[in-house]
Amino acid sequence: MKERVLELLKKGYPDFVSGESICQSLGVSRTAVWKHIQALRAAGYDIEAVPHAGYRLVNIPDRLYPAEITRGLQTAFLGRNVYHYDQVESTNRTARELAARGVPDGTLVVAEEQTGGRGRMGRGWFSPHGRGIWCSVILYPAVNPMDAPPLTMLAAVAVARALRRAAGVEAGIKWPNDLLVGEKKICGILTELSAEMERVNYLIIGMGINVNIDRHEFPLELREIATSVQIERGRRVSRVHLLQNLLAELEYWYRLWEKEGFAPVLACWKELNVTLHRPVRVFTWKESWEGWAEDVDADGSLVLRLPGGEYKRVVSGEVSLRAR
């Protein structure tokens, strides 16, 4: 009901909407309308109330509220069901708990702040309040776990395209799924899965996008290696708008992957990548190699040409780009 009051105020924006018309539209009392207005104010909506004129929406808070995300969202299933939190340890962790309870396909978990945000290789992820898109998407792809790794590269394609189209940031992809502007990271993706050997139970794609973070707000150790949309564009942008674009991109590429497999995703990944045809160092948990990033194969593995001339196929790991 609170959301329906908000809808009416948004329709009336920037004019006043009379209390009487809200009462009639929703079939509730003036006292009830007043209670919902108070609840909306508590959630951060700036609403002016003038006797005989009614209510007027003055300002929408910079929050990733479900009502804001789903209004005008161009997707069929992705992000249609949203769990929003002010603070969580990590959205992936919350998503795991929700997935185990069987929430709908495409459910989005989003938080204003993560107290224990995590990146790949067990690293932390700086996730200050209201400054980024810290979110996880829950999917139930009907595949066996060996076919799941391409989905993490698919997510990178979706984020890169959303950053380009909705925020004007020319992000490139470092294999397999880090998003860079220049040499600095703007987004990290952590994909997790629960599976039997024959099929995936659920897949969680966690994404952390640095949006409205100023350079001096990054911890010292991140200042030279991290960036944000705000830093790149010189102004704050709407997180809701960027997230809506991201969800639309994700759904588009996911549906395409379901129909046509990894090939079209990989083709787009290659167009957006900044890893290939240059010298790199690749680290895995056990080893590291220096070589020339020759190609990414049909499974998403990085094909490295070693100094001796032989080729090395790397299934997973961390790439450090080297001077050409």
CB of 211 to a second copy, least distance (A): 24
Distance, in Å, from the CA atom of 171 to the CA atom of 174, rounded to the nearest integer, reads 10
Distance, in Å, from the CA atom of 168 to the CA atom of 236, rounded to the nearest integer, reads 12
Q: Known binder of ligand: residue 177?
A: no
CB of 316 to a second copy, least distance (A): 4
196 lines the binding site for a second copy (CB under 8 A)? yes
Give, as ranges, the residues between 153 and 192 that touch a second copy (CB under 8 A): 176, 190-192
- Judge whether 82 and 187 are in contact, CB under 8 Å: no
149 lines the binding site for a second copy (CB under 8 A)? yes
CB of 74 to a second copy, least distance (A): 28
Single out the segment in contact with a second copy by CB under 8 A; choices: 74-82, 103-111, 193-201, 256-264: 193-201
199 lines the binding site for a second copy (CB under 8 A)? yes
Q: Which of 23, 39, 49, 195 binds a second copy (CB under 8 A)?
A: 195
Closest to 175 measured CA to CA, from 270, 288, 279: 270
Give, as ranges, the residues between 219 and 278 that touch a second copy (CB under 8 A): none
**In the β-sheet with 318-321, what is the strand arrangement from edge to edge?**
311-314, 302-305, 288-296, 279-283, 318-321
288 lines the binding site for a second copy (CB under 8 A)? no
141 lines the binding site for a second copy (CB under 8 A)? no
Single out the segment in contact with a second copy by CB under 8 A; choices: 22-30, 33-41, 142-150, 178-186: 142-150
CB of 272 to a second copy, least distance (A): 19
SS3 309: coil
Q: Would you say the C-alpha torsion 205, 211, 214, 215 has a positive or negative sign?
A: positive
Q: Which of 193, 209, 247, 293 binds a second copy (CB under 8 A)?
A: 193
Distance, in Å, from the CA atom of 21 to the CA atom of 7, rounded to the nearest integer, reads 13
* Ramachandran category for residue 128: left, alpha or beta (phi over 0 → left; psi -120 to 50 → alpha): beta
295 lines the binding site for a second copy (CB under 8 A)? no
CB of 108 to a second copy, least distance (A): 20
Q: Which of 53, 121, 263, 267 binds a second copy (CB under 8 A)?
A: 121
320 lines the binding site for a second copy (CB under 8 A)? no
* Nearest residue (CB) to a second copy, 196 versus 221: 196
SS3 7: helix
DSSP string spanning 236-286? ---HHHHHHHHHHHHHHHHHHHHHH-SHHHHHHHHHHBSSSSSEEEEE-SS
Question: Pairing relation of β-strands 82-88 and 107-114?
Answer: parallel
Distance, in Å, from the CA atom of 314 to the CA atom of 296, rounded to the nearest integer, reads 9
Q: Which residues are annotated as a binding site for biotin?
A: 90-92, 114, 118-120, 185
Per CB under 8 A, residues contacting a second copy are 120-121, 142, 144-146, 148-149, 152, 176, 190-199, 201, 285, 315-317
Q: Which residues are annotated as a binding site?
A: 90-92, 114, 118-120, 185
